[in-house]
Amino acid sequence: MDEAHLKILSCPKCGKTLQSNGDLEAGEIVCTKGHVWPITRGIPSLAHPPISDEDAKWIADYDEMAENYDELVKQYDDWLGIDMMKERENFHMFIPIEGPLSIIDVSIGTGANFMALHNQYKEQLGRFNLHGMDLSTGMLAVSQRKFDQAGFNVNLTYGSVFNIPYQKNQFDMVIHSGGINTFSDIPGSLNEMLRITKPGGIIIVIDEGLSPKKRETEEGKAIMKANTLFAARPPLEHIPEKAKDVEVTYVMNETFYQITFRK
């Protein structure tokens, strides 16, 4: 991590700003109230409060799958008739033609969304300030390795989407792709996403969930029977009251919902 990354973080216990207490690669950072947080391989560990048993189960699964996750996800391509990496590149429709842009992926996983961004904007990556956060150390390790190999920088943080350790009003775009269906506190996570978004900025939330039309087809019924996550519906009842311009569309051959809203 670097000083610019540190500057926009906040202590997850008290919300105060943080400062370096040594090496930013393998040292510690501390808030003005004295709460100390370790840094491992340049990734600050800022998860608080303790993870619930329900969420811990999912995180353990992701840790176990991390090294093989990208290959496992490719099974969706054949099964659902999609090209998921190409679908991820559709984030470009929300990106201005020019000018700087700060983006955070709050459940970054293996970094696929930012690799898709890299594929489309190789010559313009300098205008992006990219951050990624996850509660799976295995996923963070995979994404860090990918970004290093591809030669571009993403500021990674170990933290919880229920208590995002960033100061408010920091990002032009907040992305969450895959995971919210299993969250123990969906309203809390959406409120946190809105909090860290700049006024006028956009939040994009994507997860398994067939469109109304798709779920009535024989194909759709078979998909939901094989994997019940695809029976999920967009959690519109949990969108923060202060959210603006809420819109739902269906992507990836109408097998995933996409919710967008602005601050």
CATH H superfamily, domain 48-262: Vaccinia Virus protein VP39 (3.40.50.150)
User: CA–CA separation, 70 vs 172, rounded Å?
Assistant: 27
| Structure confidence by residue, pLDDT tens digits, 108-121 | 999 999 999 999 99
Annotated domain spans of the chain: 1-46, 48-262
DSSP 42: T
Determine the average pLDDT of the residues in 15-24: 90
- Other CB atoms within a 10 A radius of the CB of residue 147 amount to 21
Determine the average pLDDT of the residues in 23-41: 94
pLDDT at 52: 86
- Residue 46, pLDDT > 90, answer yes
Name the amino acid, one letter, at 46.
L
Q: What is the largest CA-CA distance in the chain?
A: 59
User: CA–CA separation, 169 vs 194, rounded Å?
Assistant: 8
Determine the average pLDDT of the residues in 1-14: 96
pLDDT at 95: 93
- The band of 55, judged by pLDDT with boundaries at 50, 70 and 90, is confident
- The band of 86, judged by pLDDT with boundaries at 50, 70 and 90, is very high
- The band of 13, judged by pLDDT with boundaries at 50, 70 and 90, is very high
pLDDT at 54: 86
Alpha helices (H) in the chain, listed in sequence order: 3-8, 53-65, 69-80, 84-88, 112-120, 137-150, 186-196, 212-215, 218-226
- Residue 92, pLDDT > 90, answer no
Determine the average pLDDT of the residues in 104-110: 96
- Residue 23, pLDDT > 90, answer no
Residue among 84, 130, 142, 73 at smallest CA distance from 105: 130
As beta bridge partners, residue 29 has 20, 37
